Amino acid sequence: MRLSLSIRHGFRVLVPPHVCQARQATGQCYAKKYGFNLIIVESRITGARCANDVTSGAMYIHRRSARSLNFLYQYHDLSTTEISRPTEGRRAQSLKKQSKQFWQLIHVIRSRSRLLAPVSGTGFLNPSDAERVIQAGVRMTRRRHAWQRSPETWAVPDASPFVQMRSLVQHLFDKYPVPNFMAPVWWGEHNAQWGMKLYLHLAAGKSIRRFPVLPHFQITKRMAAFFMQAPDDLRPLETYRWSQVLSLGGDERLARILIRKTCLWAPNGAEAFWASVIRFLIQNAPLSTDEIVDIVQFIHQQRFEPAETVWGRGAGDNPVQPDFSLRGRSLMSLRRHMGNWRSELIEKGMMPPPDVDPLDFPWERSKIDAFHFEQDGIAWSIEELLTPRQLYNEGRIMNHCVSDYVSVCARRKTSIWSLKVQTGKRRRRQLTIEVLPKSKIIQQASGKHNCEPGETVREILNRWADREGLTFSESV
């Protein structure tokens, strides 16, 4: 076997005996690319021993070297994969003053467990597994201040690598027991800082209800109790939904269906609404898995997804039923609505019939009258825009975002008006006006590119406001 070694940079790579000189030349190219020297030396150490010594050997080189190791090599089976990019060493280098503790931890892992040992029968270590172990080592070293025990006192369990890694995390940090499902936050693909902070928070014996970083979370005492008892196969965010369902009186089956098959696997910004949905599902249990999934998917589409994707082209970016609620609904009425929602919305005038283009489907006209005024051969007009197409055209010509108001206009939360001037045969847009129908307040008045209206345009706007009894907001 050949062993590639650079003592100056602490870089080692295994080269099996069947690897040809061309592959060795590839290694030289990688060495040149990443800026280190590659020295080929002969070694009579057996394959398994040599493979098992890569990381711990790097540790000894580091002790003899005046400089920190730049790289800790993650190696592949060179018969199928070229020499890989040595990312772990750069992580170790980034630890700066904590690099000694990092190498100490890596040495303990290498010497006492098989977490960084080659797979039995192959002589090679899965690179992705090694990457996760090294990544966990870096993250744990960064929080060296929270270690309760030294790595050297770790008693390695005779179990799978996953259980061994979890045991190491618990040995280092746990002053008080932490649920097993929390351990993977240290080696997960995504660097979830809040997850590691939560682990340390729980390891210090503090309640999850006192953890300040959880977004959108409102955890009751009952939820906190179920959170600490959640199954090991769940992720931390999933345990929130698990504990919520059980605290509301649901069972484990419903919790797993929501976590594994719906968009409710993690909390979101509408938790109060989704809590009402979960209560509805619990009250109407038992339901089949497919029906639970269909109900959650339907509600999410109606209340949160853009109407353009749910209803069809021209329906706008806002949801079809943004105010959808289960209040007052029974399971049978919900089933009827799920089967006939299109026809029901058409009958209510909320959406267009099939033969009408959604872009040309008008909403109800407000009780404010339009305005027409002519002076010195110049005709002024202020007219309400009543269709999505009119709003899109207004926004395109005036170069502003009035097209985003389709949904609120359709729900009559606001009204949009266009002030135009006609001289001869030419008619030009001068101002786009937003008026709140109920309070009769002029909320906005913007010209092209959101510019302020000119003196003459402002005078026309004042005439219309006086006639219709409109008032101006402070921002106009």
Whether residues 451 and 326 share a domain: the answer is: no
Residues 117 and 128: their CA atoms lie apart, in Å, by 13
Percent pLDDT > 90 in the chain is: 46
Identify the band that residue 84 occupies on the pLDDT scale cut at 50, 70 and 90.
Answer: very low
Q: Return all residues near 439 (Cβ < 8 A) that are at least 6 apart.
A: none
Among 332, 347, 362, residue at a domain's last position: 347
Q: Please tell me the total count of domains within the chain.
A: 3
Examine residue 208 and state whether it is found in any structural domain, yes or no. Answer: no
What was the pLDDT predicted at 134?
86
Q: 0.75 exceeded by the pTM?
A: no
Choosing from 193, 224, 259, the residue where a domain stops is 193
Average pLDDT for residues 432-450, to the nearest whole number?
93
pLDDT value of position 385? 94
Specify whether 341 is located in the same domain as 385: no
Residue 95 confidence (pLDDT): 66
314 and 409 both lie in a single domain:
no
pLDDT higher than threshold 90 for residue 259: yes
pLDDT above 90: residue 62: no
Residue 50 has pLDDT above 50, yes or no: no
Residue 202, pLDDT score: 95
Q: Which of 69-78, 176-185, 258-267, 320-329 has the lowest mean pLDDT?
A: 69-78
Flag whether 24 is in a domain.
yes
Helix (H) or strand (E) holding 3: strand 2-6
Query: Do 276 and 401 lie in a common domain?
Result: no
Residue 423 lies in a domain: yes
**Would you say residue 426 lies in a domain?**
yes
- What pLDDT, on a 0 to 100 scale, did the predictor assign at position 5? 37
Judge if 150 and 110 occupy the same domain.
yes
Domain check: are 320 and 428 in the same one? no
First to last CA, the chain: 81
Domain shared by 246 and 317, yes or no: yes
pLDDT digits (tens, 9 = 90+) for 127-170: 667 778 888 898 999 999 999 999 999 999 998 888 999 999 99
Q: How confident is the model at residue 94 (pLDDT cuts 50, 70, 90)?
A: low
Same-domain check for residues 276 and 381: no
Query: What length is written for the chain?
Result: 476
469 C-beta neighbours (distance < 10 Å), count: 8
Residues 80 and 114 in one domain: yes
- 362 secondary structure, DSSP code: P
Domain hosting residue 148, numbered range: 2-172+184-193
Same domain for 339 and 378?
A: no
Shared-domain flag, residues 401 and 466: yes
Higher per-residue confidence, 210 vs 53: 210
43 in a structural domain: yes
Q: Does residue 377 sit in the same domain as residue 466?
A: yes
What does the DSSP assignment read for 41-101?
Answer: EE--S-HHHHHHTHHHHHHHHHHH-SS--S-------TTTSPPPP-HHHHHHHHTGGGHHH
